[in-house]
């Protein structure tokens, strides 16, 4: 189903918060959780937006995600902390972990919080942007709850696509924000292509026979994605596994988990939040001025014929956020239908 419906972001946000509250999530946690999905949708990252919000609600209903946040602090000293999320909402725990890393960075210049036994945090760039908006450099590492990459020459996926996201304040350019998985594309983008009836590009995925495919259905049957840089990207995914599950003493490669489903199952994700206080190194104004200069040099580089503009990481998503704030969100009718069904189930007024 590929039709879209234009809808105001505040209407959807209120609906999402009310659905979460109905299922026992506190008002504060509901606001944070909805904000993660809304930012993804507003920035044009529909693959990690409201479609996944519906999956998280189903997991709360099924018991896979705790409605009430319960975090065990395993250790907390100097610049670092180690937490067990106890299967609490990934968006809430990840947000709290980054805020704790920011608090530590204010004192020590750097803060790091490693979390085990979590659920998917969905849009990875949300969390380093929290740090960037506080005048810091933010980094998020996460493993995933589904094994998606086979080692080069292998036939069976071993490691997840294990994303990393970075953000830094960039003066008049807003924020630099890079969010990338170690596969050429995230699994959610393939699911989205299937939902819209579109082919996927070459170089994204293999079919069950181990051959490249442009058919999203065949790709989803095999669940074997291609790393964006061959052996290098696969190895980078392994490094991210070390910085998350291995460091936090969690289940490597997601244990036996298989994604959002089954809804009562553990996702076994681990993630690490890092914040670096720019003021510990230089005047933040100088940093942002240098960021502006760097971006301007990138954008001013000579273009090949037919290329009109060079974009820095985060530029297009920030522009899209502004457009959607003004014009509303072009939400897939199928996604809106799922949200409305959840709202009706919760006894909310029809929108």
Residue pLDDT, tens place only, 219-245: 999 899 999 988 899 999 999 999 999
Q: What is the model's pLDDT at position 211?
A: 86
Burial 52-86 (b: 16+ CB within 10 A, else e): bbbbbbbbbbeebbbbebebeeeeeeebbbbbbbe
Q: Is the pLDDT of residue 136 over 50?
A: yes
Q: What is the model's pLDDT at position 229?
A: 85
Note the pLDDT tens digit of each residue in 92-131.
999 999 999 999 999 999 999 999 999 999 999 999 999 9
Cβ atoms within 10 Å, residue 147? 22
Q: What is the model's pLDDT at position 349?
A: 67
Q: Is the pLDDT of residue 274 over 50?
A: yes
Q: What is the model's pLDDT at position 167?
A: 98
Which whole number is the average pLDDT over 3-28?
95
**Chain mean pLDDT for the chain:** 95
Q: Specify if 180 maps to a domain.
A: no
Q: Give the distance, in angstroms, between the CA of residue 60 and the centroid of all CA atoms in the same chain.
A: 19
Q: Specify if 179 maps to a domain.
A: no
The band of 185, judged by pLDDT with boundaries at 50, 70 and 90, is confident
Q: Which domain holds residue 195?
A: 185-226
Q: Is the pLDDT of residue 188 over 90?
A: no
Q: Is the pLDDT of residue 61 over 70?
A: yes
Q: Is the pLDDT of residue 315 over 60?
A: yes
Q: Specify if 123 maps to a domain.
A: no
Note the pLDDT tens digit of each residue in 145-163.
999 998 887 778 999 999 9
pTM of the model: 0.93
Q: Is the pLDDT of residue 351 over 80?
A: no
Q: Specify if 205 maps to a domain.
A: yes
Number of domains in the chain: 1
The band of 1, judged by pLDDT with boundaries at 50, 70 and 90, is very low
Q: Residue 200 is part of a domain; what is its CATH number?
A: 3.30.60.50
Q: What is the model's pLDDT at position 2?
A: 54
Distant-in-sequence, close-in-space partners of 69: CB < 8 Å, separation ≥ 6: 26, 29, 88, 89, 92, 93, 96
Q: Specify if 193 maps to a domain.
A: yes
Q: Specify if 133 maps to a domain.
A: no
110 and 273 Cβ atoms separated by less than 8 Å:
no
Q: Specify if 247 maps to a domain.
A: no
Q: Is the pLDDT of residue 293 over 70?
A: yes
The H or E element that residue 307 is part of is none
Q: Specify if 5 maps to a domain.
A: no
Share of the chain above pLDDT 90, in %: 85
């Amino acid at each position: 189903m590929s039709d879209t419906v234009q809808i105001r972001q505040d209407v959807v946000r209120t609906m999402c918060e009310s659905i979460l509250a109905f299922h026992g999530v506190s008002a504060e946690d509901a606001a944070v959780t909805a904000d993660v999905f809304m930012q993804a949708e507003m920035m044009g990252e529909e693959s990690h937006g409201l479609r996944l919000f519906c999956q998280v609600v189903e997991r709360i209903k099924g018991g896979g995600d705790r409605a009430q946040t319960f975090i065990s602090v395993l250790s907390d000293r100097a610049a670092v902390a180690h937490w067990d999320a106890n299967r609490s909402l990934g968006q809430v725990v990840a947000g709290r972990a980054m805020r704790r890393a920011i608090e530590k960075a204010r004192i020590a210049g750097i803060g790091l919080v490693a979390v085990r036994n979590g659920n998917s945090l969905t849009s990875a760039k949300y969390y380093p942007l929290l740090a960037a908006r506080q005048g810091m450099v933010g980094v998020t590492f996460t493993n995933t709850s589904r094994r998606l990459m086979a080692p080069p020459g292998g036939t069976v996926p071993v490691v997840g696509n294990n994303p990393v996201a970075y953000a830094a304040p960039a003066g008049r350019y807003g924020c630099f924000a890079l969010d990338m998985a170690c596969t050429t594309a995230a699994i959610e983008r393939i699911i989205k292509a299937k939902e819209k009836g579109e082919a996927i590009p070459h170089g994204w995925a293999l079919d069950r026979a181990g051959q490249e495919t442009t058919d999203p259905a065949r790709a989803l049957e095999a669940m074997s994605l291609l790393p964006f840089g061959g052996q290098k990207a696969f190895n980078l995914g392994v490094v991210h596994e070390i910085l998350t599950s291995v460091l936090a003493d969690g289940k490597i490669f997601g244990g036996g988990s298989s994604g959002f489903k089954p809804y009562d199952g553990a996702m076994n994700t681990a993630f690490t939040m890092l914040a670096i206080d720019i003021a510990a190194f230089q005047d933040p104004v100088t940093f942002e001025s240098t960021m502006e200069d760097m971006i301007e040099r990138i954008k001013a580089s000579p273009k090949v014929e037919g290329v009109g503009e060079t974009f820095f990481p985060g530029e297009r998503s920030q522009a899209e956020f502004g457009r959607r704030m003004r014009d509303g969100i072009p939400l897939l009718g199928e996604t809106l239908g799922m949200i409305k069904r959840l709202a009706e189930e919760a006894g909310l007024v029809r929108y």
